[in-house]
Chains A and B, each alone.
Chain A
Amino acid sequence: MLQFDRVTLPESSEALRAEVRAFLQQNAEHLERPNSDFTTGHDPEFSKKLGRQGWIGMTWPKRYGGGERSFFERYVVTEELLAAGAPVSAHWIADRQSGNLILRFGSEAQRERYLPPITRGESYFSIGMSEPNSGSDLASVRTGARRDGDGWRINGTKLWSTDAHRNHFMIALVRTEPPSENRHAGLSQIIVDLKNDGVQIRPIRNMAGGEDFNEVVFDDVWVPADRVIGEPGNGWRQVTSELAYERSGPERFLSAFRVFVEFTRLAGDRPEPGVAQAIGRLASHLLTLRRMSISVAGMLEEGKSPEVEAALVKALGNDFEKLLPEVARLAATGRSTQSAEYRRFREALTDTLLLSPSFTLRGGTREILRGVIARGLGLR
């Protein structure tokens, strides 16, 4: 049975929460966004301000610019930012997983070089996993790197790399040995400098009108040997270890939160039973998902690798992100569409609806997650 312990946030988290809220109030000009999706607001100025607050790389050692704070404190900061609709996408991946990966598997020189600028909110990372022919089947990646002098020469194409056209680095999962019977062998993770290594980056417009994800082409791109993270060939183990960080956070159930807020505003203080019911239903889901997510933060804090629990939180959370706009949409029916409240609601609803297909695709599809959970249940 999968266990989600009754974890309570430490008392110290409340003072921190108040700090974050005060900071957000002082920086309200950054919050004018119609949705609360973590991938759609790229704002380096805001990221640098967060860096000055010490809110990036919070759990990392101080000698790399980190705050040596707990996963719970990081949790409080990230959920407050998301709930307020803050533009966090610039530093998000670096803070959530790239930095942790470098910290855990990288060389001392890599830690000293890459981590401090991340914590200052100045250095941004993209994920380089998917390819045109490798989505859910990640182990089938074909982008290859071969030894060339004191470095590696990379050829291939990465796809769906969010903000690669804006960010500084990508951690690319590449094949450094030819495919063998063990398809998880021979993969490596290499840091690519997106501004200086000569990769070709083409933004891809999404159905919501945004240009956030990209195709990144490597045509004989050479990188020095010290860009490899960990041992060559250890890529699969490293890349799967990122998943507990990637999958369990509040961004996996708060993407549609803005709709909930505007729906509640539209409902007024004495809503009819059906509308109250919709609000209560959504709240009951959100309270529970958040607690499950905090349970996983507790496991991370204890140094565990809760990959199955994280997959479960993400699967459940993503389904909720899709349920939310549907429940609100139907419960809001019959109201005047001309009020300012309704316009705000509709703007959030439309924006979120158009982004919603990505919720159950990015970071592991619902189908992949269910497979992970099934394995955890002993079914495969």
Chain B
Amino acid sequence: MTTTKNAGDIVSGYKYGWHDPEFKPVNAPRKGLDREVVTQISELKGEPQWMRDFRLRALDIFESKPMPTGFWGGNIEGYPLDFQDIYYYVKPMEGQGKTWEDVPEEIKRTFDKLGIPEAERKFLAGVGAQYDSEVVYHKIREDLEKLGVVFLDMDGGLREHEDIVKQYFGTIVPPADNKFAALNSAVWSGGSFVYVPAGVKVDIPLQAYFRINTENMGQFERTLIIAEPGSYVHYVEGCTAPTYSNDSLHSAVVEIIVKKGARVRYTTIQNWSTNVYNLVTKRAAAYQDAVMEWVDGNLGSKLTMKYPSVFLMEPGAHGEILSLAFAGPGQHQDAGGKVVHVAPNTTSTIVSKSISKGGGRTSYRGLLKVYPGAKNVKSTVRCDALLLDADSRSDTYPVMEIDEEQVTIQHEATVSKVGEEQLFYLQSRGIDETEATKMIVNGFVEPIVKELPMEYAIELNRLIELQMEGSVG
């Protein structure tokens, strides 16, 4: 294996910080962002004119918008993020692998090391694997394909299902939504396009895996999921990156449409290295009796700003956001969720659990909005923060805009230190302090972990354990 290890990772416990020095992109990437770069991306992809225009309009919006200084992620100003020091498009290979053998060896071995082909064989209905700017491998189980389920990379989706993409793209998260949504709209590449026909239930998860290899990389995946009436799909994404001394940027946009009686679950296990800015906009619209669930685990990155949202558009719709954040030394997890009750008789639950250690910082930022006339709305918000030491920090910024009186809203927030009494209790039963702390943390996140399929629950517990070990040394 000719991958290179990073000394800092050995201390922090991050297991994915190596990079492949032999990798050579097939294009000639240059740093910086301008109209030429945006046009080149569109040309290289052979896109229709309307998409090129969409990108260029988005670029104008990006350039005209100031860095976010408002409530939603008001803290990025303090970070030295230089948009001209980033590669916006690094093309890893020509075409795309239909089998892993089609994928160039130096790229394939990265995914082997990450265990993706193995997971695909064991428990997945389909896999997409993105390396820098493009999806290098994509496959869905044949029986699902026959049922009409589409699982492609976003570029493939645009080529093969242009009418659907044109109908929905940018309607849930318009470019003008925020500066980073505009950036993604201008330079997006890769991501997933998922279409589930009416009544089709995809019983095991589809997974996308995002890997950054190049230093100073910007990864701008774009995902669109459409669940037709009565369908079900569980989409899972994972991600890692090498540890470099220079920063990388990951700025995704995810749009989901959950139609009448459909259910979509979107699970993220975010494990970027601690030099990655993770600035993501994720939003779903749920229609009559539909269910949208976000399970959002954030363990990695330098700074994450991400608030998965659900718009409950029609009666009977239900939104659920489970957010788990772990911030270690030098990390800030600014996470949370937004629920907007547009229609009456809609329900929602937000559960946020955050852990800070070694000077790490977590913030819960949440919005609960109820439109006038949205009667009989029921919503429960619960956020719990756990601090592992006195240097760490946790803040809660819940916003409620309730413009209707006939509603039932519950909100509960707790901040606790790993309690002396809890530690004493476990220690009095012979368990040492390190083990006791692990047990308390695992118990704390249990309400979220138990929602994950077993394989991911094991993975998440393992990642938390690694982070905990990093804090002991």
The answer to whether A and B belong to the same complex is no
A-to-B contact residues, CB < 8 Å: none
B-to-A contact residues, CB < 8 Å: none
